[in-house]
Amino acid sequence: MSVNDVFRIITIEREYGSGAAEIAKTLAIRLGWKLWDQLLTQEIARLAHCNQADLQEREERRDPLYYRLFKSFALGSYEGSPGIPVETLDADSIVAFSERVVLEAAAAGNCVIVGRGSQHYLQSRTDTLRFFLYASSGAKIRRLILEGNSETNAITLANTIDSERAAFIENYFHVEWPNRSLYHAMINTDLGEEMVIRAILSFFRPREAH
């Protein structure tokens, strides 16, 4: 990809606790672009006719094992049986809605999209910059504690959510997480928010980055 391409979309994949949400928010403000983070969750919830809080608990995760087993049984029940109704808010449905919303956001352009598989859905677009943000374990835990978590809960969150994301990406996109070759840059947020934003904006021509 040439640096002379006109970029209209930024995707940000991230480790949990890396501070990516605030970085994406500030980046969108600097560029005057639309931020698709919580807004993306809201739109998926609207399409799925479900509560946003319920959706947030299921985004970027595979279905729980017990539910995968139940769904497998329901979809493959006894021959000739109408089967058991399957809950619509499963990972397959969320992925389908996520792809739809991400593609619509990308079509409109001038946007920053956080996670939800956006880096994979948009990997063939030449107007898209893809970044992965990570941080040291200590920095992530300190940040999560500042957000109101106990130290024990912060450690648990830092250790489990990313493993769930990795399983989700492997299940639906058949690659390891993070798939390093997919990103234009992987940036350590221990540098500080301002340095990370400057690094991302350096990919733009001066007139594009204001």
Cis upstream peptide for 178 (omega within 30°)? yes
- Kindly report the number of other CB atoms within 10 A of residue 12's CB atom: 26
Q: What is the pLDDT of residues 115-152, one digit of tens each?
A: 989 999 999 999 999 999 999 999 999 999 999 999 99
CA dihedral over 159, 164, 165, 167, signed as positive or negative: positive
Identify the weakest region by mean pLDDT among 2-6, 24-28, 163-167. Answer: 2-6
pLDDT at 168: 86
In this predicted structure, the answer to whether residue 113 has a pLDDT above a threshold of 90 is: yes
So where are the chain's domains? 1-33+109-204, 40-99
Q: Give the confidence band of 5 by pLDDT, cuts at 50, 70, 90.
A: low
Instruction: State residue 41's pLDDT score.
Output: 86
Q: What is the pTM of this model?
A: 0.81
Query: pLDDT tens-digit profile of 150-162?
Result: 999 999 988 888 9
Q: Does domain 1-33+109-204 have CATH number 3.40.50.150?
A: no
pLDDT value at 66 more than 50:
no
How large is the average pLDDT for residues 64-79?
39
Mean per-residue pLDDT, 93-113 = 94
Helix axes 20-31, 193-201, angle to 10 degrees: 50
- The predicted model gives 99-120 an average pLDDT of 96
Q: How many CA atoms lie within 13 A of 15 on its CB side?
A: 22
Asked whether residue 73 carries a pLDDT value surpassing 60, the answer given is: no
